[in-house]
Structure 1
């Protein structure tokens, strides 16, 4: 799970849409700290068009737990990003849920909040 989280962060910063598509389910949603829920396709489109640019992500702490039988990774990050025209470094807590896919795992949803 930690390796998948790191791959997510690297792909976000690198703008690697193919990598993101490969590690996220088609039904993936990202819930922003504002509460806005964004589909995978809308989020990737926002990155492709430059509405959301991730400049740097540092994972400060990451823990793995379970919610029922579903693995959950909670990561505290320092995220330098430009989101809809506003650039800042946010202290984001990213909670990501996973499901099995082939011989590995994919991310089904991520919820962002501040810490």
Structure 2
């Protein structure tokens, strides 16, 4: 998997988060995708997309400060530092998040298999 493709999938995910574009997110996330929040809470794809669709999670602006890619064993990964302005379960803030995403093939395409968020 190329760095360019990883970056494009990551950017598609971020753009879809800001736009609350459920179909766009669904297209780049694996069916078994999980998002691990900075609190340690592991959220399934279905639960996360529902939270975005209902407005429980609103991503107002995501600025990527830096992004680096690296394979971890045979699994390609991308680590991005972001400034994420979001309202999560009623609390709005700008979080300094590190988003670490791993990718896997699905047929001829690649998808994001999981993302882990932590602070930096």
TM-score tier by shorter-chain length is: over 0.9
- For 1:93, the equivalent position in structure 2 comes to 98
Q: CA RMSD in A?
A: 0.6
Q: Secondary structure at the match of 2:16?
A: helix
Matches within 5 A, 1:1-115: 1-115=6-120
User: In structure 2, how many angstroms separate the alpha carbons of the residues matched to 1:26 and 1:100?
Assistant: 12
User: In structure 2, how many angstroms separate the alpha carbons of the residues matched to 1:105 and 1:25?
Assistant: 9
TM-score by length of 2: 0.94
1:100 Cα deviation after fit: 1.2
1:101 Cα deviation after fit: 2.2
Question: Please, which runs of 5 or more residues in structure 1 have no aligned partner?
Answer: none
User: In structure 2, how many angstroms separate the alpha carbons of the residues matched to 1:13 and 1:37?
Assistant: 21
TM-score by length of 1: 0.98
Question: Please, which runs of 5 or more residues in structure 2 have no aligned partner?
Answer: 1-5
